[in-house]
Amino acid sequence: MEVESNIGVSLSSSEPVNTIIPGSVPLSLGSFLGGRSKKPSILDSQRVVYLTSGRMAIAQALMLNRICEGDEVLVPAYHCSSMIAPVKHSGAKSVFYRILPDMSIDLEDIEQKLNDKTRLLLVAHYFGFPQPINALQKLCTDKGIVLLEDCAHALFSNYQGKPLGSFGDYAAGSLMKFFPVNDGGVLTANTAHNLQVQTEPGGREFELRCALNTLEKSFIYNRLKTLELLLWIPLKIKNLLWRWLKSQRGESHAESSPAASDGGFDFQPRWINTRISAFSLRISRMVSTNRIIDRRSSNYRWLSNALADIPNCRRLHPELPEGVVPYIFPIIIDQVDPAFINLRRMGVPLLRWEFLDEEVDSNTCKNSHYYSRHLVQIPCHQELHQAELEWMVDNIRHELSRHNQTG
């Protein structure tokens, strides 16, 4: 489901309808202040392809390795559909492996699930924290299978002095989770693997939509106010014209731009070979990566301290290890409902991966099944103001305390 905001930008159902605080990154003047980090990331790879989203990068990695019907791909039992949809599109079978209570990979379970049909292992560095990547690298090398690192949450994280994403044969990343852009994903490969991807532009309408959606999102959350005033009349005209064109063509929003670009979870194969919009690529190369790294880390530590004593709640990773640049702050809420629903209705932009693949149940992986309901993601991105962080925590504290007393 998608809803129209009062200025015409489309928000996916991953955002609360009455969102007060941006769950993902809006563009602001501060986005450009702070300079570029000298710490290496997968974006510094010499072999990189820019696409519209991380899920399209995963799809390309599967295509490059000719993975198809009859093959098996090992994927984590705890996942969002962005990890699974490309595998289903390839025709291969998803084989779900277990995670441990700390969300690290169950290596023994992976070894038990390996067979002659296994072609690729997909590894997700949840929330920016590294998996046991050295052991996984050795396992894949010994067994002759492809190692694909999903770095959607770990675009700037390092491990043992190397960027996450540089250990596997391939790495997929999402720019939208870290940069103030409406689309963007990357696929990298080490020197021994094929990265010959023929990309094509998305067209003028796609380019314009990506630029305008980025600006309109910033306006919704009271960033770039001066620019909003200057563009108010042109944007109103644009919205009216856009609605008229879609009504004439009978075209939905989802058909005129990749769902990934709007934060949704749909997988539309026709966007697999589409390159990132020029606007989003330019913005990602201009904004301060120092600011992304420093403020996300600072916000994460502040949230960890602020949430330390809240009842009915525990922090998955109270500490932020050296080299980890977080995507979000994860908490585990034992009695999650109706608190989660109430907070979302209030405009607190919480998320959880509650819709696992239909094959995954408590027998497949009890930890994944539990976390799909009880692990809640709180934003900690660089564009959050201190007052917004405090407002979120105050409401979380009040709601969880109230529910704990009534429960």
pLDDT at 228: 62
Query: Tens of pLDDT along 167-177?
Result: 999 999 999 99
Q: Is the domain of 302 the same as that of 183? A: no
Asked if pLDDT for residue 252 goes beyond 60, the answer is no
Amino acid (1-letter code) at residue 169: D
Point out the domain boundary residue: 169, 189, 209.
189
In a domain, 334, yes or no: yes
Mark whether 184 and 76 lie in a shared domain.
Answer: yes
pLDDT band for position 405 (50/70/90)? low
In terms of Cα–Cα distance, which of 44, 78, 25, 318 is closest to 158? 44
Q: Quick one: 315 exposed, middle or buried, by C-beta within 10 A (0-12, 13-18, 19+)?
A: middle
**Residue 357 CA from chain centroid, whole number:** 18
Domain total in the chain = 2
Average pLDDT over residues 225-238: 64
- The pLDDT-based confidence of 230 (bands split at 50, 70, 90) is low
Whether the CB-CB separation of 224 and 28 falls below 8 Å is answered with yes
CA distance 52 to 280: 9
Q: Is 27 within a domain? A: no
In 250-353, which residue ranges form alpha helices assigned H by DSSP? Answer: 253-256, 278-286, 289-306, 339-346
Across the range 214-219, mean pLDDT stands at 89
pLDDT (0 to 100) of residue 109: 97
Question: What six digits make up the tokens of 218?
Answer: 């910033």
User: Do 47 and 179 belong together in one domain?
Assistant: yes
Using alpha carbons, select from 276, 277, 297, 279 the residue that is nearest to residue 287.
279
C-alpha atoms less than 13 angstroms from C-alpha of 294 in its C-beta half-sphere: 11
β-strand partners of 174: 185
Single residue among 189, 214, 249 that ends a domain in this structure: 189
Indicate whether 65 and 183 sit together in one domain: yes
Tell me how far apart the alpha carbons of residues 39 and 248 are, in angstroms, rounded to a whole number.
50
More confident residue, 233 or 324: 324
* In a domain? residue 368: yes
Residue 186 phi, psi dihedral angles, 5° rounding? -130, 150
Q: Distance between CA 194 and CA 373 in Å, rounded?
A: 39
Distance CA 234, CA 38 (A): 39
Domain with residue 357: its CATH number is 3.90.1150.10
pLDDT in tens, 295-305: 999 999 999 99
pLDDT at residue 4 is higher than 50? no
pLDDT for 263 equals: 40
Residues 6+ apart with CB under 8 A from 352: 336, 340, 372, 373, 374, 375, 376, 377
Q: What's residue 5's pLDDT?
A: 32
- Find how far residue 350's CA is from the centre of its chain: 14
Helix (H) or strand (E) holding 367: helix 366-374
**Mean pLDDT over all residues of the chain?**
88
Q: Are residues 182 and 297 in the same domain?
A: no
306 part of a folded domain: yes
Structural domain of residue 361, as residue ranges? 289-406
pLDDT tens string 341-390 = 999 999 999 999 998 999 999 999 999 999 999 999 999 999 999 999 99
pTM over the 0.85 mark = yes
Where residue 220 falls among pLDDT bands split at 50, 70, 90?
Answer: confident
Exposure pattern of 340-376 as b/e (b: 16+ CB <10 Å)?
A: beebbebbbbbbbbeebbeebeeeebebbbebbbbbb
CATH number at residue 61: 3.40.640.10
pLDDT (tens digit, 9 = 90+) per residue, 267-298?
A: 788 899 999 999 999 999 999 999 999 999 99
Task: Check residue 264 and give its pLDDT.
Answer: 46
Decide if 298 is inside a domain.
Answer: yes
Which of 189, 210, 241 terminates a domain? The answer is 189
Residues 180 and 297 in one domain: no
Q: What is the dihedral of CA 379, 384, 388, 393, to 10 degrees?
A: 30
Q: Per residue in 34-83, pLDDT tens?
A: 999 999 999 999 899 999 999 999 999 999 999 999 999 999 999 998 99
pLDDT tens for 136-169 read 999 999 999 999 999 999 999 999 999 999 999 9
Q: Kindly state whether residues 185 and 70 are assigned to the same domain.
A: yes
Q: Has residue 18 got a pLDDT over 60?
A: no
Identify whether 230 is part of a domain: no
The answer to whether residue 28 is domain-embedded is: no
Residue 101 has pLDDT above 50, yes or no: yes
Is the pLDDT reported for residue 331 higher than 70? yes
Q: Is residue 357 part of a domain?
A: yes
